[in-house]
Amino acid sequence: MIIFLYGEDTYRSRQKLNEIIEHYKKIHKSGLNLKYFDFKKDSFEDFRDSFRSFTMFDEKKLMVLKNVFLNSKIEDDFLNFLENLSDSKDLVLFYEEKIDEKRPLFKLFKKYGKSQNFELLKGKALKNWVKREFKKCSTPHQGRSGLGRAKITPDALELFISYVGNDLWQMANEIKKLVNYKNKKKIEIKDISALVKPKIETDIFKTIDAIASKNKKEALLLVKKHLEKGDSPSYILAMINFQFRNLLVIKDLIEKGKSLNAIFKEVDLHPFVIKKSYALSKKFKFDELKKIYQKIFQADLDIKTGKIDSKAALETLLIKI
């Protein structure tokens, strides 16, 4: 039997791979017929000889293969050997990352095997995954009874996703860090800002920069890109609100003569956010920031009271400011 796991989301595909291996180990406890092949160093002949060998205890084999698409020779060898694999009672698991789906071997794996594609999560699917991870992740020092679950506010969740994106390896590490830090207490925006390192190119800063430069066309285009990748209008508005609130706080401190080093000590935000906000705040006057923040507040109020839908409110806001 052929099993084919592939896709860019290596975190979830690795989880699935480990799940299959652990299930196999529970049934076939000797472990003698679990084999690994990486074609960066192993040859097709190594695999073929192992595949044809007899097994002890009449156990099924589980053979885990990586980098089969490394070169055309290995791919051709498997194309010629495919019938043996599909008819076998043994499990031959191919584990790959990004692949050209036009390749003949890929199409045959899809046709004759059990396949699963692990695409990068985005939008609602990403948010749901993060929520599940927070629920699953219990803090240390918990016994078997009364397990506390990590809780995160909706605004903090939105900010967390905007900082990390869809790198689930980083997501999982950051979630553990936040849960350990809060120890059963609710995770809030200030915790995300203080503990989570944002992506170097956080898209929302580009949008704020376009607004600051009075480039409404660019701001609307960037918002369109947010929407196309699955971000909701309410989420985008919340992020704009959060960033302008930061700009107001930092601009106020600048007006009071505070240096950047002093602001680092006074403001409970991630250093990356402070640096970005410090630079952007210089493009605004303090009164201008207050007026923009008031318009953002009004847009949010209009959405919540049903006067306007969130997408129209967001577009109108960008045109007004």
Q: Could you read off the pLDDT of 24-42 as tens digits, one per residue?
A: 999 988 888 999 999 999 9
- Average pLDDT of the chain is 86
From 99, 91, 30, 27, select the one nearest 64 (Cα to Cα): 91
Q: Which domain holds residue 9?
A: 2-117
Separation CA 107–CA 193 (nearest Å): 45
CA angle 124, 272, 192 (to 5 degrees): 45
Whole-structure pTM value:
0.63
- The domain that holds 43 is classified in CATH as 3.40.50.300
The pLDDT tens digits of the residues spanning 145-164 come to 444 566 888 888 888 887 88
So what's the pLDDT on residue 139?
A: 45
In a shared domain, residues 180 and 231: no
Q: For the segment 96-127, what is each residue's pLDDT rounded down to a tens digit? A: 988 888 899 999 999 999 999 999 898 889 98
pLDDT at 250 over 90: yes
Q: Can you list the positions of beta strands (E) in 8-48?
A: 34-38
CATH number at residue 213: 1.20.272.10
Domain count, the chain: 3
- Same domain flag for 224 and 251: yes
- In sequence order, what DSSP letters do the residues of 243-292 get, joined into one string? HHHHHHHHHHHHHTT--HHHHHHH--S-HHHHHHHHHHHTTS-HHHHHHH
Instruction: Check whether residue 24 and residue 67 sit in a common domain.
Output: yes
Same domain, 211 and 233: yes
Q: Are residues 183 and 219 in the same domain?
A: no
Q: Alpha carbon of 226 to those of 19, 20, 124, 290: distances in Å?
A: 34, 36, 13, 25
**CA 255 and chain centroid, separation:** 38
Residues 234 and 314 in one domain: yes
pLDDT value for 199: 63
One domain for residues 242 and 268: yes
d(CA 167, CA 48): 36
Same domain, 236 and 314: yes
pLDDT digits (tens, 9 = 90+) for 54-65: 876 678 999 999
Helical (H) or strand (E) element with 315:
helix 310-320
d(CA 81, CA 79): 5
Element (H, E) at 217: helix 216-228
